[in-house]
Amino acid sequence: MRYHYFMRAAVYPGSFDPLTNGHLDIIRRGTRLFDRVLVAVLENEGKAPVFSVGERMELIAACTRDMPAVEVHSFSGLLVDFMQRVGASVVVRGIRAVSDYEYELQMALMNRELNAGVETIFMLPAVEYTYVSSRLVKEVFRLGGDIARLVPPQVLESLRARLQVV
Ligand code: PNS
């Protein structure tokens, strides 16, 4: 009998400025389905980010230390080109509410148009994170709100250091 081993790899792309517990939840769920989960941080300086790509990658690495299947990458240019370079054909994206769906559908179909071999799967985060986004987390933090349950402790610490809120 012959055994064939396939290393199933998925790419989880995003801005991750910063990583939230919602992202972390999707990453953990992804590791149950795939042998390797490549978290890919978009190099997009146009968005005036709070954290540099390097800082975001370090935070993701620190928060996923207990998940050996996770690798942290960065990419610029087209996602499908990055996927070709790393030899992955599955994109994972989290969908929180119906409002996410339209944009995600467009991206998934555009990626399919660019490379018919790329498959996108949508995953649902734990229900307690369905309203969490990097944008809102930053806004609430800047205004002095408590976000301790919404981001990993390392991210909270880095936000405190960066945005000087106590
Ligand atoms: O966390 P975000 O900002 O919602 O992630 C968006 C991301 C990084 C997945 C998307 O902007 C992307 O893939 N950008 C790379 C450029 C690209 O490939 N564009 C065409 C696909 S629609």
Q: If you average pLDDT over residues 135-158, what whole number do you get?
A: 97
Residue 47 annotated among the catalytic residues of the structure: yes
Atom of ligand 1 nearest to the CA of 107: 22
Percent of the chain as helix, strand, coil, to the nearest 5: 45, 15, 35
Residue 99 annotated among the catalytic residues of the structure: no
Is 69 in contact with 31 (CB distance < 8 Å)?
yes
The tens digit of pLDDT for each residue in 124-146 reads 999 999 999 999 999 999 999 99
**Residue 13 CB less than 6 A away from ligand 1:** yes
Rounded Cα gap, residues 65 and 102, in angstroms: 33
The tens digit of pLDDT for each residue in 108-123 reads 999 999 999 999 999 9
Rounded Cα gap, residues 40 and 84, in angstroms: 13
Q: Among 2.60.40.10, 3.40.50.620, 3.40.718.10, 3.40.50.1370, what is the CATH number of 9-163?
A: 3.40.50.620
Q: What is the pTM of this model?
A: 0.95
pLDDT for the residue 4: 57
Q: Give me ligand 1 centre to Cα 159, in Å.
A: 24
**Residue 111 CB less than 6 A away from ligand 1:** yes
The tens digit of pLDDT for each residue in 30-87 reads 999 999 999 999 997 677 899 999 999 999 999 999 999 999 999 999 999 999 999 9
Q: How far is CA 76 from CA 17, 38, 52, 154, in A?
A: 15, 15, 14, 25
For residue 166, give the DSSP letter: -
Query: Where along the chain do its domains lie?
Result: 9-163
